[in-house]
Amino acid sequence: MDFLNIGSGEFLFLLLLAILLIGPRRAVELVQQVSRFAAHLQREWRTVQQEIAQEWRTLQEETARAVQPVLQESAQVRREAQNVLREVAAEARGVQERTAAASSLESPSVSLSPEIQQPADDFAG
C-alpha cells in the first residue's frame, strides 16, 4: 500500500498515534462516522450513475425518434433512384438492340485498296 507516499508501516504508526491521541472510545466513534460517510458516498455515487444512465437512454431514444423520418425518406429516395436506374438500363438495352439490328441490316461491304490495307513501315531497320 502506497497512498500519498505513505507506506503500510507508516500508516499503522499514524493509526496507533491517532488512537492514542483521540482515545479508544472516540476512535471507534470516528471509525463509525467514517464508515457511514463512505456508505453515504457510495449511495450518492450509485444515484449519479443511475441518473446518467437514464439520461443516456433518453438521449438515445430522442435521437432515434429524430433520425427515423430521415432514414425513411432516404430509403424511399434510394428505391426511387433504383427504379430510375432500372428504367434507364432497360432503355439503353433497347437502344443498343435497335442500333445493332439497324447496323446489321445496313452494313455495306467496304473494300480497301491494298495500299491502304498495308501500312508502310518507315521505321523498319
List, for residues 2-17, the tens digit of each pLDDT value: 556 778 888 788 878 8
58 lies in a domain?
yes
- Per-residue confidence of the chain (125 residues) as pLDDT tens digits? 555 677 888 878 887 888 888 887 888 888 889 889 999 999 999 999 999 999 999 999 999 999 999 999 999 999 999 999 999 999 988 888 888 877 776 655 555 555 555 555 555 55
Domain span holding position 29: 8-98
125 lies in a domain?
no
CB atoms within 10 A of CB 51: 10
1 lies in a domain?
no
7: cell is 507506506
117 lies in a domain?
no
Largest distance between two CA atoms of the chain: 125
Q: Which of 13, 15, 9, 11 is nearest to 30 (CA)?
A: 15
91 lies in a domain?
yes
Write out the DSSP string of 25-53. HHHHHHHHHHHHHHHHHHHHHHHHHHHHH
Please state the domain count of the chain. 1
